[in-house]
C-alpha cells in the first residue's frame, strides 16, 4: 500500500515538475529574471533549493548522480548562465561523492587500487575539458551538452550491466597495478573476489570521460560504471561504488578550474549543494519502498526532455 | 554459510576517515557561512539584492562588471559575507589533495613504487588545477 502510494506520488511529482517547467508562467519568470526583475533576492535561491531537494530524491531512486540531472535541468529552466551552472554542477557532484566515499571505501565497495590509476587519467583530462568548456562559445557547449544528455538517456535505456562479469585471466597492466580485491555481498553473505581485465582500453576511455566531465560539469557516473563493469570486468556493486568515489577526484580537478575562473556564485551554489544532499538522504529512505524501475523510466524521459531543451537553447530555437 | 567481510587496506581506511571528517566539516562550515551571508552579519562584496543581475551573464562579463578577482584573489575578500562561503567550498575541493598526501607514506612503506608515483602525480595534477595558473579568463 505504502509502496504503491509512494510510487504514485513520485510519478505525480515528476509530471507536475514537467508541466511546471514547460508552462508559460515559468518561462515568464525565467525571462524576467534574465532582464533583471524586481523579484526579491531570495526568490530564485529558494526555488533552486526545493528543486535540488526533489532532484536529490529522483537521482537516488534512479541510480544516477546529481550532476547529470542538475546541469541540463538548471541550465535549461533557470535564469543562470551555463558557466555558473557547470561550476555548481561539479560542486554538487563533488559534495555527493565526498559524502558517500567514506562508507563505500570502508566496506570495500569502492577500491583505491582500482580508482587511483583511473582517477589520474580522468582528473587530468577533466582539467582539459574544463578549460575547453570555458573557452568554447556557450551555444556550442549547449548543443554538445544537449546531444550528450540525449546519449546518456539512451545509454541508461539500453546498457545492460552485468552483476558479476567473468574475468578468466587478469591482464598485465591490471596485474602490475594489483587491481584486485574482495568484498562481502551483504544480501547473500558471500565473499566476492574480483580482478580486472582489458585494463588499457578501459584506462584510455577515461580520457574521454574526464574531458566530458570537465567540459559539461557533469558527474561522470553514467560513463564510469559501464566502463568499469562491462569493459574492465569489475562486479557491478564495486563499479557503482568506485565510480561514486571516483567522482570525488575527477570533479575536484575540474571544480578548481571553474572556481578559479569565478564560476561559483555562493547564492546559487550553497542552496544547490545543501538541497541535493538533503534530497539524497530522503531518497535513500524512499528507495526502500519505491519501485526503482519506474523511476528509472521517468528519469530517462526527464533527461530526453532536458537534452532536447539544451539542444534547442543552443540552436537558438 | 556466511563469511567475515574482507578488511579494507589500512590506507583505504585512513583515506575514508579523513574524507568523512573533512567533507562533513566543510559542509557544516558552508552552512554556517551561508547563514552569516544571507542574514547580513557580514557585508557582501556584491550586495545580495544585486546578485541576480550577474548570474545570467557569461562568467567573463561577470568578472569584469562585478570586478571579481580570479585565481586565489577571493582569499583577500574573506571579510565579505559572500566570499566567506568560499572557505567551505575550498575545503570541499581540497579534501582529496589532503587525503592523498596522508596515504602516500603507506605506499612508501609498502615499497609500492607504482602507487607512490601515481599518488604523487595525482597530487601534482590536483595542485595544478587548484593553483589558478590555468585558465583562459572565460568567454
Tens of pLDDT, residue by residue, chain A (317 residues): 445 555 555 555 555 555 555 555 555 555 555 555 568 899 999 999 999 999 888 887 776 777 888 998 898 889 999 999 999 999 998 888 888 888 889 988 899 999 999 999 999 999 999 999 999 999 999 999 999 999 888 888 887 778 888 888 999 999 999 999 999 888 788 888 999 999 999 999 999 999 999 999 887 888 888 899 989 999 988 998 898 889 889 989 999 999 999 999 999 999 999 998 888 878 877 766 666 677 778 878 888 988 888 888 888 88
d(CA B32, CA A110): 31
Give per-residue pLDDT as tens, B12-38. Answer: 999 999 999 998 899 999 999 999 999
Give the model's confidence band at B90: pLDDT under 50 very low, under 70 low, under 90 confident, else very high: very high
DSSP state of A184: E
Q: How many CB pairs under 8 A join A and B?
A: 215
Amino acid B5: pLDDT: 76
Q: HSE, CB side, 13 Å, CA atoms: give it for residue A197.
A: 8
Residue A135 and residue B31: Cβ atoms within 8 Å?
no
Residue A249 and residue B24: Cβ atoms within 8 Å?
no
Amino acid A58: pLDDT: 83
Query: Residue B49: which residues within 8 A CB-CB, separation 6 or more?
Result: A40, A41
Amino acid A189: pLDDT: 84
Assign A195 to helix, strand or coil.
strand
Closest-CA distance, A57 to chain B, in angstroms, reads 19
Q: What percent of chain B has pLDDT over 90?
A: 86
- Report long-range pairs for A199-207 (Cβ below 8 Å, ≥24 apart): A199/A171, A199/A173, A199/A174, A199/A232, A200/A171, A200/A173, A201/A231, A202/A118, A202/A227, A202/A228, A202/A231, A202/A232, A203/A117, A203/A118, A203/A121, A203/A173, A205/A231, A206/A118, A206/A121, A206/A122, A206/A125, A207/A121, A207/A122, A207/A125
Q: Is the pLDDT of residue B121 over 70?
A: yes
CB-closest option in A105, A107, A120 to B118: A120
Closest-CA distance, A313 to chain B, in angstroms, reads 14
Contact A226/A189 with Cβ under 8 angstroms?
Answer: no
Nearest CA in chain A to B64: A262
Amino acid A190: pLDDT: 87
Bridge partner list, A180: A195
Amino acid A64: pLDDT: 74
Amino acid B99: pLDDT: 96
Mutate to test the interface with A, among B89, B95, B99 (most CBs of A within 10 A): B89
Q: Is the pLDDT of residue B105 over 70?
A: yes
A256–chain B Cβ distance below 8 A for any pair: yes
pLDDT (average), residues B33-49: 95
Average pLDDT, chain B: 91
Assign A180 to helix, strand or coil.
strand
Residue B138 and residue A33: Cβ atoms within 8 Å?
no
Residue A33 and residue B56: Cβ atoms within 8 Å?
yes
Residue A116 and residue B58: Cβ atoms within 8 Å?
no
Residue B126 and residue A184: Cβ atoms within 8 Å?
no
Chain B contacts in chain A segment 61-120 (CB below 8 A)? 79-81, 83-84, 87, 91, 94-95, 98-99, 101-103, 105-108, 111-113, 116-117, 119-120
Q: How far is CA A214 from the centre of its chain?
A: 12
pLDDT (average), residues B44-56: 94
Amino acid A227: pLDDT: 92
Residue A91 and residue B9: Cβ atoms within 8 Å?
no
d(CA B96, CA A98): 9
Amino acid A18: pLDDT: 58
Mutate to test the interface with A, among B59, B66, B102, B106 (most CBs of A within 10 A): B59
Residue B55 and residue A95: Cβ atoms within 8 Å?
no
Amino acid at each position: 500500500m505504502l509502496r504503491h502510494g509512494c510510487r504514485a506520488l513520485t510519478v505525480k511529482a515528476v509530471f507536475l515538475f514537467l508541466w511546471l517547467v514547460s508552462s508559460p508562467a515559468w518561462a515568464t519568470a525565467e525571462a524576467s529574471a534574465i532582464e533583471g526583475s524586481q523579484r526579491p533576492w531570495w526568490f530564485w535561491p529558494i526555488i533552486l533549493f526545493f528543486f535540488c531537494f526533489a532532484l536529490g530524491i529522483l537521482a537516488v531512486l534512479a541510480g544516477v548522480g546529481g550532476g547529470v540531472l542538475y546541469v541540463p535541468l538548471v541550465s535549461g529552466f533557470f535564469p543562470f548562465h551555463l558557466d555558473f551552472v557547470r561550476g555548481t554542477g561539479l560542486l554538487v557532484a563533488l559534495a555527493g561523492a565526498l559524502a558517500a566515499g567514506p562508507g563505500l571505501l570502508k566496506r570495500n565497495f569502492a577500491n583505491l587500487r582500482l580508482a587511483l590509476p583511473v582517477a589520474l587519467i580522468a582528473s587530468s583530462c577533466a582539467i582539459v575539458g574544463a578549460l575547453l568548456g570555458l573557452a568554447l562559445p556557450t551555444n556550442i557547449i549547449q548543443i554538445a551538452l544537449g546531444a550528450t544528455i540525449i546519449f546518456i538517456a539512451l545509454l541508461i535505456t539500453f546498457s545492460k550491466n552485468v552483476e558479476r562479469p567473468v574475468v578468466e585471466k587478469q591482464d598485465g597492466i591490471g596485474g602490475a597495478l594489483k587491481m584486485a580485491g574482495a568484498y562481502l555481498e551483504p544480501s547473500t553473505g558471500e565473499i566476492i573476489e574480483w580482478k580486472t581485465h582489458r585494463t588499457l582500453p578501459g584506462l584510455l576511455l577515461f580520457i574521454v570521460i574526464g574531458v566530458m566531465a570537465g567540459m559539461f560539469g557533469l558527474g561522470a557516473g553514467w560513463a564510469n560504471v559501464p566502463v568499469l563493469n562491462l569493459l574492465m570486468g569489475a562486479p557491478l556493486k564495486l563499479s557503482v561504488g568506485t565510480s561514486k568515489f571516483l567522482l570525488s577526484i575527477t570533479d575536484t580537478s575540474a571544480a578548481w578550474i571553474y572556481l578559479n575562473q569565478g564560476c561559483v556564485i555562493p547564492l546559487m551554489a550553497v542552496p544547490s549543494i545543501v538541497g541535493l544532499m538533503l534530497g539524497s538522504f530522503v531518497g535513500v529512505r524512499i528507495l526502500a519502498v519505491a519501485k526503482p524501475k519506474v523511476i528509472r523510466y521517468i528519469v530517462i524521459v526527464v533527461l530526453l526532455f532536458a537534452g532536447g531543451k539544451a539542444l534547442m537553447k543552443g540552436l537558438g530555437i | 554459510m556466511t563469511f567475515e567481510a574482507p578488511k579494507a587496506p589500512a590506507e583505504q581506511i585512513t583515506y575514508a576517515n579523513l574524507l568523512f571528517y573533512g567533507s562533513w566539516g566543510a559542509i557544516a562550515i558552508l552552512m554556517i557561512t551561508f547563514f552569516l551571508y544571507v542574514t547580513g552579519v557580514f557585508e557582501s562584496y556584491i550586495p545580495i539584492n544585486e546578485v541576480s543581475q550577474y548570474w545570467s551573464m557569461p562568467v567573463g562579463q561577470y568578472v569584469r562588471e562585478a570586478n571579481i578577482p580570479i585565481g586565489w584573489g577571493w582569499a583577500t575578500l574573506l571579510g565579505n559575507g559572500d566570499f566567506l562561503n568560499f572557505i567551505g567550498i575550498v575545503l570541499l575541493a581540497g579534501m582529496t589533495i589532503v587525503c592523498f598526501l596522508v596515504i602516500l607514506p603507506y605506499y612508501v612503506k609498502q615499497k609500492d613504487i607504482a602507487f607512490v608515483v601515481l599518488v604523487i602525480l595525482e597530487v601534482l595534477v590536483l595542485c595544478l588545477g587548484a593553483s589558478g595558473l590555468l585558465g583562459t579568463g572565460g568567454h
